[in-house]
Each structure stands twice: as structure tokens, then as C-alpha cells.
Amino acid sequence: MDQKTKDEFRVGFEIQLRHLFYSKPEFPYLQSMGCYHVFFQVKNDVDDFGFLILEWECLAPKVWNWVGTWVDTQEELENYKYKRESPNIDLVKIAKIVAKRLALAHHKNMMRQQEIEDFENWSEFHKASPKPFLN
């Protein structure tokens, strides 16, 4: 298959893949989850059309869009620019944030449990005879 025919097929495949990608339920939430690069391998039993890479990029001020790029081989995909750009993520800070949130959730759960127990004790106390004085 010559390059011109391959490029024509790629245009059609990209339209179909974008339609499938945009119609997925997780699509609106990908950027908030930190997913800015998605790739699809396009091949059949006879032909290999390469990989479609969709990247979330800013095209103009306040205009964001998924930009498509095609690469031919697995090696080109591995050497693509988003693989070289390592994000500056401090895993220690993330672990501290997660631990703090878990501790707060546990504390809130314990306080709820204590309120339930206090309410149960109060209802037993309220049913008691003779009734004690409450100040």
C-alpha cells in the first residue's frame, strides 16, 4: 500500500476513532484525571496503519482541543515527546495528602459512630424511671 492511500485511510480512521472516543462516558473527565495523551493502534490482518495519538493541547488562548498525530511504528510511539517529558510529581506530598484525607474520613466516621451510640444511650436514659434531673 502506498503512502497516499495509507494517509486517506488514516483520515477516515481518525474520524471514526474520534467519534468513538468522544462518545465514551469517561471522556469529559479525562483532563481532570490527568489524562492528556491517548493512543490507538490501527491495524487489521493484512495492513498496519500505525498509531493515532490524541493530545490535549492549547491551540490559542483559552482554546483547548484534542490534536491528532500519526506514527508508524512502536519505536516512534515510545520515543514520542510525551514519553520524554516527565511530569514533576512529588509522590511524598501526594502520599501525605492521601494520608491526611484518610485520617479525616476515619475521624468523621468515628464521630458519627459516637453520636449514634450517644443517641442510643440517651433513649435508654430517657426511658428510665424515675427520671433524673438534667442541668
Do the beta carbons of residue 70 and residue 10 sit within 8 Å?
A: yes
Q: Return the pLDDT at 60.
A: 82
Q: Return the pLDDT at 126.
A: 66
Q: CA nearest 39: which of 11, 74, 85?
A: 74
The three three-digit cell numbers of residue 129, written as one number: 424511671
Tell me the pLDDT of the chain (135 aa) as tens digits.
Answer: 788 998 899 999 999 999 999 999 989 888 888 888 888 999 888 888 999 999 888 888 888 889 899 999 888 888 887 665 666 777 888 889 999 999 999 999 999 888 888 777 776 666 666 666 665
Mean pLDDT score across all residues of the chain: 84
Q: Name the H helices within the chain.
A: 3-22, 74-78, 81-84, 91-127
pLDDT one-digit tens code per residue, 38-63: 889 998 888 889 999 998 888 888 88
Q: Return the pLDDT at 1.
A: 77
* Domains of the chain by residue range: 3-84, 88-135
pLDDT one-digit tens code per residue, 83-93: 656 667 778 88
Q: Return the pLDDT at 23.
A: 93
Taking the C-alpha atoms of residue 15 and residue 58, their distance in angstroms, rounded to an integer, is: 20
Q: CA nearest 68: which of 48, 42, 38?
A: 38
Taking the C-alpha atoms of residue 77 and residue 51, their distance in angstroms, rounded to an integer, is: 7
The three three-digit cell numbers of residue 41, written as one number: 493502534
Predicted TM-score (pTM) of this structure? 0.57
Q: Return the pLDDT at 128.
A: 65
Close Cβ partners of 77 (under 8 Å, ≥ 6 residues apart):
39, 51, 53, 71
